[in-house]
Amino acid sequence: MTRTLGVLMVCLGNICRSPMAEGVLLARLQEAGLGGKVRVDSAATGRSHIGHAPDERAIACAKRHGIDIAAQRARALQADDFDAFDFILCADRTILHDARMRKPRTAHGDVELLLEWSGVGRKDVPDPYYGDARDFEKAFKLVDAAALGVVERIRQGRF
Ligand code: 4NP
C-alpha cells in the first residue's frame, strides 16, 4: 500500500505566504503528473485571520501566475497536524520556532523551513503583509522555488 504524503504549509496569518505556497505546490505537482499523490494544506500559527479568505493581494498575485487560491480559508495549526502531515514547512524562522514548540513530543511530522527545500540561498520568506504587490511577487517566487524543490524530492523518492 502506498501512503499519501502530506505537506502542510505554515505562516503567521495563513492569508498571504502559506496560501500561495499551498496553491503553487498543488499546481506544480499537477504539472509534474503527481496530482493526487500528495495531500497539501496550509495553516496559521496566529489566530487573527481564522476563517478568512487569502489577502486580496495574494489572490491577485497567484492569479497572475495562473493559480486560483480564492477558495482557501485560514485555519489554525493544531496538535494533530504534526501526525497528520509528514512535513510541516514553515515560512520563516519565527514560525519554525513557534511550530516546533507546539509539536507534541510523540508526533512524527518533520517541522522544517520551507526554503530549505528551494535551493535559494536564504531562510525566510519575507512577510509581504505590510508591503505591496512587489513584495507579494517576491514571496511568490520564493514559495514557487520551494514547491519545485518539493516536486523534485518526490520525483527522486527522497522521503
Ligand atoms: P502571512 O502574513 O503570515 O504570510 O499570512 C500575515 C498576515 C497577517 C498578519 C501578519 C502577517 N497580521 O499581522 O495580521
Q: Which of the pair, 30 or 156, is modelled with greater confidence?
A: 30
- C-alpha cell recorded at residue 33: 503528473
Residue 1 — very low, low, confident or very high, per pLDDT cuts 50/70/90? very low
Mutate to test the pocket of ligand 1, among 42, 56, 127, 143 (most ligand atoms within 8 A of CB): 127
Rounded to whole angstroms, the Cα distance separating 70 from 60 reads: 9
Rounded to whole angstroms, the Cα distance separating 55 from 61 reads: 10
Query: Ligand 1 centroid vs 85 CA: distance in angstroms?
Result: 22
In order of their start, the domains of the chain are 5-155 (3.40.50.2300)
Catalytic residue among 16, 17, 28, 90: 17
pLDDT in tens, 123-132: 999 999 999 9
Mean of pLDDT over the chain:
95
Which amino acid would we find at residue 112?
E
- pTM of the full predicted structure? 0.96
How many Cβ atoms sit within 10 Å of the Cβ of residue 23?
30
Site of grid cell 500559527: 45
The pLDDT value given to residue 157: 82
When pLDDT is averaged across residues 134-154 and rounded to a whole number, the result is 96
36 phi, psi to nearest 5 deg: 85, -15
pLDDT in tens, 56-87: 999 999 999 999 999 999 999 999 999 999 99
Rounded to whole angstroms, the Cα distance separating 159 from 156 reads: 9
